[in-house]
Amino acid sequence: MLTVGVDVGGTSVRAGVVDRRGTILDTARVGTPSGADALNDAIVSVISSLTARHTISAVGLAVAGFVATDLKTVMFAPHLAWRKAAVAERISRKIDLPVVLEHDANAAALAEFRYGAARGAKVVTLIAIGTGIGAGLLLDGKIFRGAYGVAPELGHLRIVPNGRPCSCGKSGCWERYCSGTALSATAIELLAGHPGQSTVLAREAAGDARSITGRKVAGAARDGDPVALRAMAELARWLGEGLALVADIYDPEVIVIAGGVSESAPLFLDDAREIYRDAMTGAGYRPLARIRTAQLGDDAGLVGAAALARDVVNGHH
């Protein structure tokens, strides 16, 4: 049996035909349009291009947003046009297949549990560090969504009182200190405080500090730039502090670090592990979660959504 997984992101809609081993057999993609109807049409078109070439049993959508526990409705998606939208029903009607929705981090966590870095672990937390933080939680292989589908929204835990303002309306959120955006913000602060210290990054900025992206900071850190390395150390600190909180709440067996920033893991993960170890309650007297980087990369959401669609068809959901 083959299913299609679709990763509905803020910039592109990527779809793949996935088999039961989690292998992607075929793909299609299109840019994410801005209106809700146009978005539905774009998703239908990528799915149709795949169903034209393969026999598909069901479709799963990994969505960067809040999905209701019925797995059919998108409540809110900050970077997409959907608001209280009956997405599954609308798309299902057009492609004549069952459609299930899932939060993208939950879908990625499921994929890493079935096929990747968290295979077989009892309690799994996935922390996707990109522009912000996306988080997923699996208990005994089952996605934990909370009572209303929103859990675990870890990126907006307030980790720094009176800290950096966040687009969610609060301040001091974890993702303001531990994300690609945070790397950029920290580097800009450091450059302003120590003019003339940085070589690579100061040149990159060329008078406009806003041009310093998280990616540029990571690149400069790899080249040994002192300001970039300090920004990376700050990220490691807040990652470790945050993971210690996560460990106190969920006591996970495996923590999977995913997302674009995880590609720079060699620059921060060992430091984060050390801080995590020291910051957790009962440090030294309890087993530590294994902290690993994701294995499925960008495909995790798509593969996880396809796996969930398979479960729904098989009646395992």
Contacts to Zn ion by CB under 5 A: 156, 166, 168, 170, 173
For the bound state, the minimum distance from the C-beta of residue 106 to Zn ion, rounded and expressed in Å, comes to 19
In whole angstroms, what is the distance from residue 246 CA to residue 288 CA?
A: 12
Q: Which is nearer to Zn ion, 133 or 294 (CB)?
A: 133
Name which of 168 and 313 has its Cβ closer to Zn ion: 168
- Nearest approach, Cβ of residue 173 and Zn ion (Å): 3
Nearer to Zn ion, 77 or 99 (CB): 77
Q: Give the shortest CB-135-to-Zn ion separation in angstroms.
A: 13
Q: Which is nearer to Zn ion, 53 or 170 (CB)?
A: 170
CB of 231 to Zn ion, least distance (A): 20
Q: Write phi, then psi, for 165 (nearest 5 degrees).
A: -65, 150
Q: Closer to Zn ion at the Cβ: 104 or 112?
A: 104
Task: Kindly tell me which of 5 and 214 has the beta carbon lying closer to Zn ion.
Answer: 214
| Dist. CA 207–CA 227, nearest whole Å | 16
Specify whether the CB–CB gap between 101 and 72 falls below 8 A.
yes
Nearer to Zn ion, 243 or 267 (CB): 243
Considering the complex, what minimum distance in angstroms separates the CB of residue 293 from Zn ion?
24
Minimum CB distance to Zn ion, residue 128 (Å) = 15
**What is the C-alpha separation between 231 and 182, in angstroms, rounded?**
9
The minimum distance between CB 93 and Zn ion, in angstroms, equals 36
Closest to 209 (Cα-Cα) out of 223, 190, 222, 226: 190
| Type of residue found at 238 | W
12-18 vs 24-31, strand pairing mode: antiparallel
